[in-house]
Amino acid sequence: MVKPTKKKVVKVVEKEPIKLPSVDQKRHVEELKDKKENLNKYTLEYIEKFAPIAVKKMHTHKIPASITLAQGVLESGSGRSELALKSNNHFGIKCHTNWSGESVIHDDDAKGECFRKYEYSETSYEDHSAFLTQRKRYEFLFSYGVKEYKKWARGLKDAGYATDPKYPEKLIKIIEDYQLHEFDKIKEKDFKYPKIDKKIDKNPEEIKDKTVLYEVQKGDTLYSISKRFMISIEDLKNRNGLKDYTISIGQKLIIK
């Protein structure tokens, strides 16, 4: 009798978070306190802590910071849900078949579902960006731009992100109650982000005119390549004349 072979699991290694520049989130929160009463103190604390990450993800992935923050507030209970507190999972991202990191069992739509467990909350935010940028059904959202938070909120529901029919209205209310749309106005050129080691484990091919090519390997996605070379997905698509997110093994992509 042949014994079944165990599936090899590769541990997900999370990068230690880097300190991000302020996006005036403290001033934003203080002004909210002066203007409005009965705002949730945990939501205000959440905004103050995670606004810089949401803005950075907006600059990198073109997802409105207001949408990312509002989803984080709604789905993590302003960081106080069991998943957020014990697993640093702020967006209720389930394991799915491609997850090889740590996990936790939690009751959600069904009993005993598998959810991703992170060492850092920042990784949860990065996975949230990957979830939206790597799935074709969300591709239309990126035509709206980062200031169209209402279209994004309704589009997420139309694309099947949430089953709650009131999901768009809930996001929009959080955004407007806490004026999260102000973070959508922050331009990347106004910020200096810390330098990140740009070394890669698969050497690109450099040719005489200084153009850098990268040959697509098994397991690569447009998102993973953009992250490895620190360029946006849209830049990759434009440089290579790509109409969607489809790439194939052995394909050579222009990196710069």
Stronger pLDDT, 232 or 185, i.e. the higher one? 185
Q: Which of 11-15, 128-132, 159-163 has the least mean pLDDT?
A: 11-15
Q: Which of 146-150, 193-197, 222-226: highest mean pLDDT? A: 146-150
Average pLDDT of span 135-164: 94
| Domain parsing of the chain, residue ranges | 25-190, 205-254
- 6 band by pLDDT with thresholds 50, 70 and 90: very low
Percentage of residues of the chain with pLDDT beyond 70? 86
Give mean pLDDT, residues 136-146. Answer: 93
Taking only the tens place, the pLDDT of each residue in 108-118 is 667 778 999 99
CATH for 25-190 is 1.10.530.10
Q: Which whole number is the average pLDDT over 80-101?
A: 88
Query: CATH assignment of 205-254, given 3.10.350.10, 3.40.50.720, 3.40.50.970, 3.30.1330.30?
Result: 3.10.350.10
| pLDDT, tens only, 25-46 | 999 999 999 999 899 999 999 9
Q: Which of 88-97, 137-146, 182-191, 201-210 has the lowest mean pLDDT?
A: 201-210
Of the candidate ranges 57-61, 95-99, 150-154, the one whose mean pLDDT is the lowest? 95-99
**205-254 and 25-190 share a CATH fold:** no
Question: By percentage, how much of the chain surpasses pLDDT 90?
Answer: 53
Which H, E and C letters describe the chain, residue by residue?
Answer: CCCCCCCCCCCCCCCCCCCCCCCCHHHHHHHHHHHCCCCCHHHHHHHHHHHHHHHHHHHHHCCCHHHHHHHHHHHHCCCCCHHHHHHCCCCCCECCCCCCCCEEEECCCCCCEEEECCCCHHHHHHHHHHHHHCCHHHHHHHHCCCCCHHHHHHHHHHCCCCCCCCHHHHHHHHHHHCCHHHHHHCCHHHCCCCCCCCCCCCCCEECCCCCEEEECCCCCCHHHHHHHHCCCHHHHHHHHCCCCCCCCCCCEEECC
Instruction: Tell me the pLDDT tens digit for each residue of 161-215.
Output: 998 999 999 999 999 999 999 999 999 888 777 664 434 344 444 334 456 788 8
